[in-house]
Structure formats: structure tokens, C-alpha cells
Amino acid sequence: MHDKLQLPENVQFIIKTLESAGFEAFIVGGCVRDILRGVAPKDWDITTSAQPGQAKALFSRTVDTGIKHGTITVLCGCERYEVTTYRADGEYLDKRRPSEVFFSQKIEDDLSRRDFTVNAVAYSPGRGFVDPFDGCGDINRKIIRCVGNAAERFNEDALRMLRAIRFAAVLGFEPELEVVDSIIKLRKNLSYISAERIREELGKLIFGKNPAAIKLLETTGIMHQTLRNRDFGGDLDAVISQLKNAQDADESMRFALFFAWASDDCREIMRDLRFDNKLQKTVALYVQFLPAKIPHKRYEIKKILNEMPPEIFEKLLILKKLRGENAGELEKIRHETNCLLKNGECFTRAGLAVNGNDLAKAGIFGRTTGETLKTLLDAVMRDPSLNKKEKLLCLLK
């Protein structure tokens, strides 16, 4: 264990300011965990014995982030730091949140309410580490262990079951047997959790550097609840292998690999998990075209480009490679695509040399307008030289 941690100047300033006023203050949770893992923290959370009003009085610039639950945000220049009063939880009635939160004067109370031991370590430069549950040891052993009894923690907040697997994926840690057994026994409690919360955890899990942890969704039986009462219908080992090789892939590409098995049901599952419409549409496009063989003929490529932007098509080719399609064939498709884009060849109605107004002048109105434009576009995609106004109007005759 490190005896002294190097903290940013702003964090030291906040802690010293609170301590100078007679209060305790520590960094806590994920930032401590990440430092001990040799990873730069993304956020710095500070916990204190000062009540919100007392903490606010010590700093010139603050925001009432969640003052009901004891949290204010201290502004230091452009940086924001959450400062939260020590808390103890009341009874959990809805499998998600405590019915009451009580402010405390003991750091141990605050650490006792946390989910996993690796998140229940506090540190201050003056007092050093406060680690009542051997979280530092579990970080060294790379173990996910609950604070106290696993079944009790999961009965309090069912989302913690999914968080345990997410931490396994993100940190590369192994959940201990009690954690896994408790998830198996209590997995149905996940039905109490909102789709938005599940979607958020699933996204972080899929972005984890250790995607093999996704297997835990299947072995614990929690996959069914995660997919809103559906079973995973694909080859999970293949998906895990693909995700390992997709470290640079964006959110839509990773979800496409995960949902590729779902085919036409992909959009419905994502809708049930409250994904935003844009991401649903993009992932559904990938899933639609992933199984299909793309001929390296320009006309066939243009037909696909008519349904998706070129940048999405490029990512589709990357996904196909990740799924094992022939790299040489995909490179031929990429070459043909680059050539037709460079030449400015038309593959959308917007690129046609005629529009609805031109057709109206030629005596074509109403429903036939769309069909006529579709027919002209198909002709132009086959023969780019036709995309001139006079030639297309001539074709109409």
C-alpha cells in the first residue's frame, strides 16, 4: 500500500480548508481505488464530517448539486469537485434507494454504506488510509467483494448485482464466490430497476477492457433480466472475442457486436432499454447488414450507401472484419467505395440532377413522384453518366 498519495493542488486545498475549520475530510471511493491501481482518476470525490451548510460557508464558489443528500460542488477555477457529508442509510424499501439518509460524524459510517470493498477506502494526507473492510487488500488481490454480507447489499440495491459484473469488466477483477452466488439467488430483483439504469451499466460493461466478464451475465442468469426478460441468442464467446479486438470501436459498433444475434428484434430490445433513437437506428443498420455479403460492385455498394452515410458504411466494414470476414474482399469494397465517393457518383435522391419540381413541370404529380425519383436514382446508380437534367427528363419520356 502507498503511504502517501499525490493529490492535485485543488483537492489538497479543499481538504485543508475543511480540516482548518475543524472538520474531517477525505478523498473516497473510485478515485482512491484508481490511484492504488496506478490509474489516473477521472473524478475526485471528497467526503467530510462538515454538514452541507458548513462546507458551503468555507468556499467562495459552490453549487448545490444534491444538497438534500449532503452533496455540494466546489468550483476551483474551471474544475468541479463534489464534497459530500458523511452519510448513513435508512431502510431500503424499493430495492434501489434508501428511504432516508442520515448525516454522520464518522467516516466509518459512510464507508459502511458503500457497495464493494474496493470502493470503501478513504484517504487524507494527514490521517492516511481508512480501510475498515480491507479494500486495499482486495484491490491488490483483484477481487470484487461486497461490504458486509453480499445478499444484504443486493437486497438493498439490486443494481449492485449488475455493477459487480461491470466492475469485473472495467477493472479486470474477479467477483468472489459469495457475490456470484448471491446474484444467482437474487437476480429476479433486477426487475425493480429502471431500464435506463440497466442500459447505463450494460454500456459500461461492454466498454470494459475485460469483456470476458460479460460471460458472468450468462452464468449467473442475470442476462435474462438485463435484456428485459429475453435470453441472449448469439454465440457469447464469439462476441467476447470480437469485443476484445474492438478496443477502438465506438458505442454504436460495440452494441452492434453485442446485439448482432437479435436481427429484427434489435431495435425493440434497445427501445425497451431506453436507448436514444439515433443510437437505435445506427445499431439496427449495422445489425441489418452484418450478415449480408457485400459484392465489391459499385452499384451494390451504392444501394447500401443509399441507406447509410459513408462514415457508417466504413464502420460496417470494420465490424465485418472483426466478425471474421475476408480482409482482402473487404479492402476491395473499401477501394471501390473510395473511388465512387472521389468521383462524386450519385447514390441518394439529393444527388439527382432532377427533383420533384422538375417532375411536376414534366407533368408527374402526387404519389408517382416518389416512385419516379426512385426509378431514376436506380438508373443513375447503374450508369453515373445519366445524372444530367436533360438526360433524366429524356428518360421520363
What average pLDDT is seen over the chain? 93
In the prediction, which pLDDT does 46 show? 97
pTM for the structure as a whole: 0.88
Q: At the fourth CATH level, which superfamily is domain 1-135?
A: Beta Polymerase, domain 2 (3.30.460.10)
pLDDT tens per residue across span 57-98: 999 999 998 888 889 999 998 999 999 999 887 666 666 666
Question: If we measure between CA atoms, which residue out of 99, 102, 100 comes closest to residue 85?
Answer: 102
Question: If we measure between CA atoms, which residue out of 100, 83, 73 comes closest to residue 24?
Answer: 83
What's the residue count for the chain? 397
pLDDT tens per residue across span 286-333: 999 999 899 889 999 999 999 999 999 999 999 999 999 999 999 999
In the prediction, which pLDDT does 88 show? 84
Given a cut of 60, whether residue 2 has pLDDT beyond it is no
pLDDT level of residue 44 (50, 70, 90 thresholds): very high
What backbone phi and psi angles, to 5 degrees, belong to 365? -130, 170
In the prediction, which pLDDT does 149 show? 95
pLDDT tens per residue across span 99-158: 667 889 999 999 999 999 999 999 999 999 999 999 999 999 999 999 999 999 999 999
Q: What percent of the chain has pLDDT over 90?
A: 86
- Is 95:119 a contact under the CB 8 Å cutoff? no
pLDDT tens per residue across span 328-380: 999 999 999 999 999 999 999 999 999 999 999 888 888 899 999 999 999 99
Domain boundaries in the chain? 1-135, 292-302+324-396
Given a cut of 60, whether residue 1 has pLDDT beyond it is no
Given a cut of 80, whether residue 271 has pLDDT beyond it is yes
Q: What percent of the chain has pLDDT over 70?
A: 96
Least confident of 10-14, 266-270, 393-397: 393-397
In the prediction, which pLDDT does 324 show? 94
